[in-house]
Chains A and B, each alone.
Chain A
């Protein structure tokens, strides 16, 4: 070995160790920053699109202004991700909204933070605001919507009509969502709303089998359902009335059938084990405040579940909301406690039905 090369080796080592030290410092810097920032940031899982636009104005901006906590959004809503987060301890979002069926599953799978002992101040909330570790936010209707141009003399008026392909020919779409679609099938088969729960799965699947040839597509995302009716890809559909209301505003010839609409409820939940749980509960507390919830429901065409929110909603607007007390009493409501015990079997049978 020559002298020169040995010198070079030494130089190399020192340069290498210098580089390693430098790299270490650079790499550790973002972690330091992130740890600091975790106090001042909250990741919220949203439905994207218009939903997020409204949520940003009504919930996120005022919250950041009050608390200095920045809100970053992650979409779309993914239940699988919520479950994976609790398993891996890596959090893409801290807060999300769940429907009744997911809430029941999340509660049973212990993937959401308990309300008990959290930073949530229950005394300032209304009676019945908390169920299965979720905080009630708003209710949304799942109703029949049909194309008026295809049924000029009136379309289906209830789920029995929706299933009647002789009287109302045309292609149909329903949501790929067992807990809601099963309710429609049973109502169509003549089950009275008060006897809906627990679901008679055999009867429901049999009813679904009958409709299958005319069920062209099962939608999964809200905007997708709106697209299907707007393009005339299907003549009737079971969809969220909030989405359908936007179609009416856009002068698409559709009719919303409020009869036998199924109400599902959205709950705020906190991802199990997230280091930002305290911020998360503070956010939820602020999001269900009557004036903010009222504005959200006006703009997103839903119904508030905080009764005090109606103090901030004009009488005319309130009458069109699914949770306006006289409407709420007539509505068929999905209840997390009632469907939770059936959920696993329900989902598995529904999945098998889709592919059969």
Chain B
């Protein structure tokens, strides 16, 4: 009797340590941030009203979304062929691609950001390369939207590749052979068989990359132009420069609400557990 009950309750018990940890270090602080946004400097929805009346905030929110869309699209374009080769080729090639992606995945964002600063800098290799083609002086690349977009895309390609690879690996190659043997041209096989079958990976990748991109801080601040801010940078400034904790909290919550909204849409249509590799 006892033993059986123990087995029944054990899954909950197993989740307890992580649950308590999340409660103490995530839910409680989040509650505090929510409270701040409604109480600082005075009670009410003043912070939110101010934000929705602020051209700066709305423009920055728009810019953040636009950048996220751009970066997501670019990473999909670049990661799809990569994941395809990794999933369909045998042995060394596949292993090499996965190793490179994983290495890039494990390298800290800060290190990658500084690497881009060196590459794009005025004395860096990329401007020198451009100068070879007669552009003199070479264009200034650092501290532009281009640099920030490039850095973020590079940072997120591993996420996209992993998401695509996980799904592509499960596509049965015989389906493609079958379509081919029935007379379909290669592009038709891709369009009607491979693309639809890899669609769950595309959706997973887009969701992961897009939402990560919304909260990016280091790369836009260090590589980007000071004029094109992102929400995360604006939140940092609001606290550091203006000491407006209430306004910063409200911004963070709006960003969180938008991200949760996107997750909700995803979850409604595709199921949340699929994102983590489960089969919904």
Contact = CB atoms under 8 A, between A and B. Distances in A.
Given A231-B121, A231-B123, A348 B229 contact: no
B240 A217 contact: no
B227 A354 contact: yes
Given A176-B226, A218-B226, A355-B234, A83 B243 contact: yes
A200 B242 CA distance: 20
A248 to B, nearest CB: 20
Contacts of A199: none
Which of A84, A87, A232, A233 has the most B CB atoms < 10 Å from its CB? A233
A351 interface: yes
Nearest to A224: B222
A356 B226 contact: no
Contacts of B234: 355
Given A1-B2, A232-B123, A217 B243 contact: no
Nearest to A215: B226
A347 interface: yes
B2 A356 contact: no
A80 B60 contact: no
Contacts of A232: 122-123
B140 A216 contact: yes
Contact of B243 (A80, A215, A352): A80
A215 B226 CA distance: 9
Nearest to A176: B226
B77 interface: no
B226 A171 contact: no
A233 B142 contact: yes
B242 A348 contact: yes
B242 A347 contact: yes
B243 A109 contact: yes
B27 interface: no
A83 to B, nearest CB: 5
Contacts of A231: 121-123
A123 interface: no
A154 to B, nearest CB: 21
A231 B141 CA distance: 13
Interface in A213-227: 215-218
Contacts of B243: 79-80, 83, 105, 109
Interface in B42-80: 56, 59-60
Given A79-B243, A231-B122, A348-B242, A355 B140 contact: no
B177 interface: no
B110 to A, nearest CB: 14
B227 A79 contact: no
Given A216-B143, A232-B123, A355 B229 contact: yes
Given A87-B245, A355-B60, 13 more contacts: A1-B2, A5-B2, A78-B240, A80-B243, A105-B243, A176-B226, A217-B142, A217-B225, A232-B123, A233-B121, A351-B237, A351-B241, A355-B56
15 contacts: A79-B243, A80-B243, A216-B225, A217-B143, A217-B226, A232-B122, A233-B121, A233-B122, A354-B226, A354-B227, A354-B229, A355-B60, A355-B227, A355-B234, A356-B227
For the complex of A and B, list the 10 residue pairs with the smallest distance between their C-beta atoms, beginning with the closest.
A217-B143, A80-B239, A80-B240, A218-B226, A355-B56, A232-B122, A83-B243, A355-B229, A216-B143, A233-B122
